[in-house]
A and B are shown apart, each in its own frame.
With several copies, the nearest count.
Chain A
Amino acid sequence: MNRENETLWTLKSEYVHRLAKQGLRVDNRDAFEYRDIEVTPGYVTRSPGSALVKLGNTTVLAGISMDVGTPFQDTPNEGVIMTGAELVPLASPTFESGPPSEDAIELARVVDRGIRESKAIDLEKLVIEEGEKVWMVFIDLHILDYDGNLFDASALAAMAALMHTNVPKYEDEKVIRTESSMKMPLRRVPVETTFAKIGDTLLLDPVLDEEKAADVRLTIATTDDGYICASQKGGSGALTVEEIEMIIDKSFEKGDFLRGILKDNMKG
């Protein structure tokens, strides 16, 4: 699929490895330092909630759509979350049109799990009529520029969008999109932090060149009240138990950093 020159990538990969051995990175960051992060909530003014996140050059737009539907049979008293991701070909020469790739599916599912498993959304407050009518929360991730670490950027965009989402009114069997009945009911603030292992070196927030050179990737989602709520290893490399433990510690620390950015954004 990758149409770029194979040899070029091999050279780049060797360069990234050489740097990593010396504790260095292609953009001179520290090992556990995030790139610059910009969060623009409410970017899509006409949608009930949205946020544009720039993590260095990686750009993700998360948009929330609200609709009324029937709950799942086994959770009649809960609203429904659906998360999708489109790696639109605009964002990278390696993304293609067509049905979602396995990468897009994994991304959507890992972002979804961070939100779902942490019970970030109070789904019981999204019930209109038990067993019959509930709010469906669609979280759509639109990747606009791909320079590595879609997981953290997407999870951050999704959470920022949810924090700025207004639930529309529902009256006389109709959704009134111009009026709001409440803020999206949130209970926790999960964020995701992704680490790459290059040789024996662990790095936070890999850029694309690092991501491609890495053997393995680990994403950890943490909550503001001290829980881990999701994890996902990617890539054909391996991790030791000790590495995972070290990553968990860093993940809580960096998670609080990301939550700080979200918090600042809520005020601003």
Chain B
Amino acid sequence: MGGKSEVPLLDKNGKRIDGRDLEELRPVKMEVGVLKKADGSAYVEWGGNKVIAAVYGPREVLPKHLANPYKAVLKYRYNMAPFSVDDRKRPGPDRRSIEISKISREALERVVMLEYFPNTMIDVFVEILQADAGTRCAALTAASLALADAGIPMRDVVAACAAGKIDGKVVLDLKKEEDNYGEADMPIAISPRTGEIVLFQMDGLMTKDEYMKALRLAVEGARKINEIQKETLKDKYKITNLSGGDNNE
């Protein structure tokens, strides 16, 4: 959130730099079962973001002392490909990706039925192949699909979306330039059936009114994302009961 307003992010008609309205999502494409070796996988293209998620498990816990006799251990690894951003990212986890992995894991722990698989581990790996702001939301959205694709029982399919503030206006789903030069960003994720917030962060400067408006807008965005998730899974499995979704083979 640079807040350097020298760069105008809204034109005189109130349109955004990519022509979107304030409360409009970027184009989103989803696909499941895109990888051969993973137990479940999904690909999400969201504006300029390209994200791929894979799920392995339930499988043996390594290292063994991490095993939990009451439930599965969920792991989440958010990783950026070196070429996904303008300034090459050095391989390996940095502080940012460790934080994102933590809060994304916590979001999924709310819905994945870990208690069904004691003494096992479920690994969720997400690779950011191209980044255009909102990668953590795209990643978590893809991860949920991959979990469904792997047939992991879930209470709900988590959907994510961000809202933010640019040129003084609350808007949905920031793209890169809006994130760089805007005034605030608020990535969230919801459990759509209950409407509860399972991932929540905000940075930038917002009044309480702006903040609550952004929150409600982001929840609505996440609901739209969830519709696309549901369509994607339906197309794949021709069934509506998601948590009963079968394996991708």
Contact = CB atoms under 8 A, between A and B. Distances in A.
Contacts of B92: 99
Contact of A90 (B52, B86, B93, B109): B52
Contact of A117 (B1, B36, B191): B1
A147 B37 contact: yes
Given A108-B95, A119-B3, A240 B195 contact: yes
Contacts of B194: 238
Contact of B95 (A75, A109, A138): A109
Interface string A60-73: 01011101000000
Nearest to A103: B102
Main secondary structure of the interface of A (DSSP, over half): mixed
Contact of B203 (A46, A88, A100, A230): A230
Contact of A147 (B36, B87, B95, B208): B36
Given A47-B130, A236-B109, A230 B202 contact: yes
Interface residues of A, number: 67
A57 B41 CA distance: 14
A224 interface: no
Interface string B44-77: 0000101011101001101000000000000001
Contacts of B200: 218, 231-233, 239, 244
Interface in B81-119: 81-84, 86-88, 91-93, 95-96, 98-99, 101-103, 106-107, 109-110
Max chain A C-beta neighbours (<10 A), residue from B53, B106, B206? B106
Given A102-B102, A106-B99, A117 B83 contact: no
A237 B208 contact: no
B82 A89 contact: no
A65 B130 CA distance: 12
B102 A93 contact: no
A88 B191 CA distance: 29
A261 interface: no
Interface string B202-240: 111111100110011001000000000000000000000
Interface string A223-247: 1001111111111111111001100
B202 A228 contact: yes
A19 interface: no
A240 B197 CA distance: 6
A177 interface: yes
A245 B208 CA distance: 8
A244 B197 contact: yes
Main secondary structure of the interface of B (DSSP, over half): mixed
A61 B129 contact: yes
B132 interface: yes
A241 B197 contact: yes
Contact of A252 (B91, B129, B208): B208
B88 A138 contact: yes
B25 interface: no
A223 B211 CA distance: 14
B95 A236 contact: no
Given A44-B84, A45-B48, A145-B37, A89 B3 contact: no
Contacts of A88: 79, 125, 127
A89 B110 contact: no
Interface in B15-48: 35-38, 41, 48
Max chain A C-beta neighbours (<10 A), residue from B1, B96, B126, B208? B208
A131 B110 CA distance: 46
Contacts of A46: 48, 86, 130-132
Contacts of B197: 233, 238-241, 244
A106 to B, nearest CB: 5
Interface of B: 1-3, 35-38, 41, 48, 50, 52-54, 56, 59-60, 62, 77, 79, 81-84, 86-88, 91-93, 95-96, 98-99, 101-103, 106-107, 109-110, 123, 125-127, 129-132, 184, 186, 191, 194-208, 211-212, 215-216, 219
Interface of A: 3, 43-47, 50, 57, 59, 61, 63-65, 67, 75, 84, 86, 88-93, 97, 99-100, 102, 105-106, 108-109, 113, 116-119, 138, 140, 142, 144-147, 177, 218, 223, 226-241, 244-245, 248-249, 252
